[in-house]
Amino acid sequence: MIRPTGKPGEYLLHLTPWEWEQLRLVLNSEWSTPPDYHRLSRSAAAEEDPALREAEILRRELDAQHRGELQSWIARLLLRLEPPEPGQSVLGRLSADEFDRLLQALNEARVGAWAALGYPDPLPDWDDPEPGPHPACRLVMDLAGYFESRLLEALNAAGERDDSAAAPE
């Protein structure tokens, strides 16, 4: 699916038609991380602090701006990678920045779908007779996780992962 090209910070993306359709489904999904997910403080006392309220308003505005920029970038990426004919494989190159943004977009979709499911822990089984309110959320969540893991494998294969931050064994 994705692998380093040998040039520092460059990756080759090769998707089958099925993978391409699934990636488009995830990146075009309606779910993204809810605005309250990254709150500055979860305490009730924080609501009383004017400085924290002001900072939270700024954080929400910046978050909305970032989300809009990410959506625009996704649209441009999907257009650039669109295969010449339906049913053909997708072949394209990603820079380190594009790689990073793709990882961010996939994480947004995964966490947003998890939020839409109500943050279940553990996740219900796929064969559960009552799949919940949004079965499509579970699909988007799982597919986003699949693509994220493939990207992280490529990052590890390129030797560009900083293992100094890894937890000790």
141-165 residue pLDDT tens: 999 999 999 999 888 887 754 444 4
In angstroms, rounded to a whole number, what is the distance separating the alpha carbons of residues 137 and 142?
9
Q: Where are the domains of the chain?
A: 2-158
The phi, psi pair for 3, rounded to 5°, reads -155, 155
> pTM score, two decimals?
0.76
Secondary structure of residue 10 in the 3-state scheme: strand
* pLDDT tens digits for range 93-144: 999 999 999 999 999 999 988 888 888 888 777 666 665 667 788 889 999 9
Edge-to-edge order in the sheet of strand 90-95: 2-4, 10-15, 90-95
Q: Which residue has the higher pLDDT, 76 or 124?
A: 76
- Collect all residues with Cβ–Cβ distance below 8 Å to 81 and sequence separation of at least 6: 13, 20, 90, 92
